[in-house]
Structure 1
Amino acid sequence: MTEDGAVDEDLLTIGAFAARARLSPKALRLYDRLGLLTPAYVDETSGYRYYRHSQVERARLVFLLRQLDMPLARIAEVVAEADGVRAADLVAAYWADVEERLAGQRTLAHYLRGRLSGRSSELYAKFEVHTVDVPEQWLITEKRHTLEEELPTWIPASLGRLESAAEECGGTTGAPYVVYHSEVADVSDGPVESCVPIADPEAARAWATENARAWGATARLEPARRLAYTRITKAQVAAPQIHAAFEAVEAWMEGEGLDYAGPCREIYFADWDKAGPEDEVCDVAFPI
């Protein structure tokens, strides 16, 4: 606005600005409502929106980011970032997440096509099943009732706490793993137990006593077991495609006439953060 109440000539009506930005007025009103692109001025009497030409670049950026199906919260992070390199890094990180999700969905779609067409046995054949004898070992653990959608958050958090605590318990002696004591789904909450093998049982018991109330921590001796397992990639870990791996091991056990000797588990032997979607990171296993 100028001092005499007239609209600044530098301002563009929403129609003129939409033409410059190659967007519709409807899209601009949506961006305003979402807080992604606020008009430079809104007339209090008429409600008309006005924009500056300098806002065109931001308007186009918001439009392009929406073409990537980027969530609005992440778009807000990108457009608010003054450092262009940092903004580019945010886009790169988002697209890496998309590619990881698509890799998992590709695996799931392949599995579902085979299952629905009656070719489950062919799908299971791609999972090579082995057995391994695991000696008894002392563990520090956390146990929690949790739904399937909460697992991607809770598992790394709990294993991170346990691996840090293991430094006080003589260090780790094996790969961390997660035990499913009962079904975990969108309506079934386990419980689930995160476990880290450690070297010093006395220190582990002391740690568990201190943390039992905060984290449901325990220290226990896991007996020696024989496991039937199959190795899967990072993309295959995501639910529900991981269920194909579990089913493949169960089918192999049935074919071998073997019984369950305990709850199923996921053993994480690789650095999750450094692994790509097709890198092997986890063994899906059943005690037999």
Structure 2
Amino acid sequence: MDDDLLTIGAFAARARLSAKALRLYDRLGLLAPAHVDEASGYRYYRADQVERARLVALLRQLDMPLARIADVVGAEGGDEAAERLGAYWADVEHRVAGQRTLAEYLRGRLSGRSSEMYGKFVVETVDVPAQLVITESRHTLADELPTWIGGSLERLTSGARECGGVTGAPFVVYHAEVSMESDGPAEACVPVADEAAARAWAERAGRAWETRVRREPAARLAFTRITKAQVAHPQILAAFEAVEQWMSGRGLTAAGPCREIYFADWDAAGPQDPVCDIAFPVLP
């Protein structure tokens, strides 16, 4: 055995960590000893492992998942490790920003200020004609929903080129609640022109995705228009509830599932640009 190796106690003292923490890092695959005595099971470390041990300890203080810690400490160089840490922290800040907004939204509900939040939304009605739509359905939880919506509408819009083209704004129908506890299903829809071509396309696409063709009936919609920023959770929840409150105040009953209608170019829109209508079909 190399005389330059340090016992776990000596190494722990240099790294300013406990032997218990070092055993945990070894078990998690984050910092393996340089040598383990086969007879005694004693762990030995090299002095040049101190920096990695301290780095792992600091990353754990950021509540970084073990897989992300392994990704950072396994980077080829310092710049790459810093980029990976930056990407993780950007994810954290995005999540915390969403949680902060949700907390403020819940404070408003709990303190009885819901009416103030709902008052920010203007609700109107519009009559829409029947439409032929190609659709893709999925059971999904709320955290996966934005990614699925973007992907499904992109696939459907691409498929619409084979179905006579897009004839109306794409929309997403919620046949049941989508949350962190309920998975819908949700149905992405794109209006198209050619029914025969649409059915041929759906038969081919259905081998990979849950696609179909159907007629969306004519309806009167109660809706409110929201910006790109308001599409984020939980602002969008307040929009749905504002429409429901408006309907309740006028004695209107929902005649079908709620929906999001995306009428603008999402990628080109800025945070304050209107992009989406939150709508409920109502009885005339």
- TM-score for both structures, normalised by structure 1: 0.81
Shift of 1:46: 2.1
Partner of 1:209: 203
RMSD: 3.2
Shift of 1:217: 0.9
Shift of 1:266: 2.4
Shift of 1:206: 1.2
Shift of 1:152: 5.0
Shift of 1:109: 0.8
Note closer, same or farther for the CA distance 1:16–1:119 as it changes in structure 2 (3 Å cut).
Answer: same
1:166 to 140, 145, 160: 160
Q: Counterparts of 1:272 and 1:206 in 2: how far apart (Å)?
A: 29
Letter in structure 1 aligned against 2:201: W
Partner of 2:224: 229
SS in 2 for 1:87: helix
Partner of 1:56: 50
> Which ranges of structure 2 fall in alignment gaps of 5 or more residues?
none
2:37 to 36, 40, 43: 43
Q: Counterparts of 1:75 and 1:278 in 2: how far apart (Å)?
A: 36
Note closer, same or farther for the CA distance 1:120–1:79 as it changes in structure 2 (3 Å cut).
Answer: same
Q: Is 1:287 matched with 2:275?
A: no
Note closer, same or farther for the CA distance 1:131–1:66 as it changes in structure 2 (3 Å cut).
Answer: farther
Note closer, same or farther for the CA distance 1:63–1:271 as it changes in structure 2 (3 Å cut).
Answer: farther
Contact 2:225-2:275 at 8 Å conserved across structures: no
Q: Counterparts of 1:128 and 1:140 in 2: how far apart (Å)?
A: 30
Shift of 1:129: 3.5
Letter in structure 2 aligned against 1:78: V
How many residues are paired up?
281
Q: Counterparts of 1:186 and 1:118 in 2: how far apart (Å)?
A: 24
1:218 to 212, 229, 239: 212
Identity within the alignment, %? 71
Letter in structure 1 aligned against 2:101: T
Letter in structure 1 aligned against 2:198: A
Mapping 1:58-73, distance limit 5 Å: 58-73=52-67
Contact 1:133-1:225 at 8 Å conserved across structures: yes
Q: Counterparts of 1:105 and 1:277 in 2: how far apart (Å)?
A: 19
Note closer, same or farther for the CA distance 1:122–1:30 as it changes in structure 2 (3 Å cut).
Answer: same
Q: Is 1:33 matched with 2:34?
A: no
2:116 to 98, 119, 122: 122
Note closer, same or farther for the CA distance 1:158–1:23 as it changes in structure 2 (3 Å cut).
Answer: same
SS in 2 for 1:215: coil
Partner of 2:73: 79
Shift of 1:270: 6.4
Letter in structure 2 aligned against 1:107: T
Note closer, same or farther for the CA distance 1:169–1:85 as it changes in structure 2 (3 Å cut).
Answer: farther
Partner of 2:137: 143
Shift of 1:32: 0.9
Note closer, same or farther for the CA distance 1:129–1:58 as it changes in structure 2 (3 Å cut).
Answer: farther
Q: Is 1:92 matched with 2:86?
A: yes
> Which ranges of structure 1 fall in alignment gaps of 5 or more residues?
2-7
Deviates more, 1:194-203 or 1:146-155: 146-155
Q: Could you give the per-residue CA deviations for residues 126-183 of structure 1, whole angstroms, max 9, x where no partner exists?
A: 3443545555443211123445565355444433432342343355455433211123
Q: Is 1:261 matched with 2:245?
A: no
Q: Counterparts of 2:276 and 2:172 in 1: how far apart (Å)?
A: 11
Letter in structure 1 aligned against 2:106: L
Q: Counterparts of 1:33 and 1:251 in 2: how far apart (Å)?
A: 54
Letter in structure 2 aligned against 1:37: L
Partner of 1:5: none
Note closer, same or farther for the CA distance 1:278–1:232 as it changes in structure 2 (3 Å cut).
Answer: closer
SS in 2 for 1:209: helix
Contact 2:121-2:224 at 8 Å conserved across structures: no
2:170 to 172, 176, 190: 176
Partner of 1:4: none
Deviates more, 1:160-169 or 1:76-85: 160-169
Q: Counterparts of 1:59 and 1:269 in 2: how far apart (Å)?
A: 52
SS in 2 for 1:141: strand
- TM-score for both structures, normalised by structure 2: 0.82
Q: Counterparts of 2:134 and 2:182 in 1: how far apart (Å)?
A: 25
Contact 2:257-2:280 at 8 Å conserved across structures: yes
Partner of 1:15: 9
Mapping 1:96-115, distance limit 5 Å: 96-115=90-109
Letter in structure 1 aligned against 2:108: G
SS in 2 for 1:35: coil
Shift of 1:81: 1.9
